[in-house]
Each structure stands twice: as C-alpha cells, then as structure tokens.
Amino acid sequence: MYSAADDSAADDARTFAGALAECWRRRLDTDLLGVYLLGSLAHGGFSRRYSDIDMAVTSELGLTPAQLDAMRGEAAALSPAMAAKVSIFWTDRMFSAGRFPPLDRIDYLDHGAALIEHARIAPARPDLTEIRRYLCGKPFEGWAQSAAQFAALDTLDPKSHKPYLRAQLYPARFVYSFMTGRMGSNDAAVEWLMDHTPAGLNLAAIERALDCRRAAADPDALFAARTLLPRQVAACAALIHESAAERP
C-alpha cells in the first residue's frame, strides 16, 4: 500500500527518534522511565509526506516547560526538518499529569514501541465511555471548525495541504475509535469503515483521500470534495446523537 520511499522515510524517522531519545535520556537521567514511538511509526501506515513523528515520554515527575523547550531544541539541533514533525506526549509515573489524551494512551498500551525503557508503566485502559467523551470534545469541535473553514474556501493554499487531507480522512478515524474504542492507522480505520459506514457518511471521498495520502500526492484533485465536509460532520454528529439515545 505504501512505497519503498515511505519505508525508507520511516526508517530515517526511527533513526532520528532513537538519537533524540538518547539526548533525552542524558537530559532526564534517572528521572526517565521510557521513550516510545506512537502513531504511524508504531502501528503502521507511515507517509513520508503526511505523517508526524509521535513520541511518548514517561518520567518519575513529568516534564517542566523548560525541559520540554530544551527537548524540542535538541530535536531541532539534530534535524530541523524532522523536528517540525515531532509531537511529544508525556506524563509522570502515575499518568496523572502532562499531555497524554485517552486515545494516545490506548496507542501506547497497544502499539507503543520502546526506544528506551527502564520501567514500563501501564495506566488504566480508557473504556469506551471515556474515549467517546474525549472524541466528542475538542477533537470533534476542532475538526468541525476546520471542515467549515475548508468548505468555504475558493482556493487551497499549499500550506494547507496536510490539514486539508487530515480533515478529509478524520471521519474514518473518528468513527473507528468512537465505535471500537481502539486506535489504529488511517488504513485500518478506512478498512473497518467499509463494513460499518454510518448513514450519511460519504465513504468514497474518504477512500480518495486515503489514496492521496498513500501516494504522497497534493490534495488539489480532492478540493472539490470540500463541499462534502459539512455533511461528513453532520453524519458523525448524528452518530453521536444516536449513540447517546441508546444509553440506558
């Protein structure tokens, strides 16, 4: 599904992440518990153009703003281009602080690939109720807002290629996690959606967006589909409403 160029880019990203993890080990010293890969570098589907480098850090006391700034600086010193793709999830030993949303905890539990591990900390697994409550908050609201903005555009700026493609793919990720409580790749989400498409959701538009991602192509050919985005949001909102109505 993905090319040799994507596999090579994934290998380069893992090498970069390994070197960065060593920088963080030296910085955090005995406070560090582990550094892990999450996202597409852990569960598959890495795109040389569209994927982030998701990394998780567990430590005894969590990270201070100054430590986070220094760690981002170390990433930029290693590779400015790769540093721009790095997203850091972090928490303390008790998983009581930091930046580690429920879905990313699921990813850590199911797919987290250790780069450094002194102690594997296993938080309580978020249940489906917690996953749905999280998804219906900022993730859904942010996607709905960006969908409305894209739908109103007359042209697509090249700087918006990545967020636009994500907006087109997001309903697959949303429905997959909302219904299963799992975290998976775009490919896994779209494959699952083929047999579980909610009423009103345009699966063909999502499949075209996935093809674009796999090809690492510009999404300009998908720009006409921007007018479908409000309907995709409405279909997901209807799924939320339906699920809420089914609660005892």
13-32 pLDDT, tens per residue? 999 999 999 999 999 999 99
Homologous superfamily (CATH) for 4-117: Beta Polymerase, domain 2 (3.30.460.10)
Q: What is the mean pLDDT of the chain?
A: 96
Give the residue ranges of the chain where pLDDT is below 50.
none
For residue 215, the model assigns a pLDDT of 96
For residue 248, the model assigns a pLDDT of 54
For residue 2, the model assigns a pLDDT of 76
- Alpha helix stretches (DSSP H) within 37-185: 40-43, 65-78, 80-83, 102-111, 128-135, 138-151, 161-180
For residue range 118-133, what is the model confidence (pLDDT) as tens digits?
A: 999 999 999 999 999 9
Q: Please say whether the beta carbons of 95 and 121 come within 8 A.
A: yes
Domain ranges for the chain, please list them. Answer: 4-117, 128-245
- Alpha helix stretches (DSSP H) within the chain: 4-28, 40-43, 65-78, 80-83, 102-111, 128-135, 138-151, 161-180, 186-193, 203-215, 229-245
Please tell me the pTM assigned to this model.
Answer: 0.94
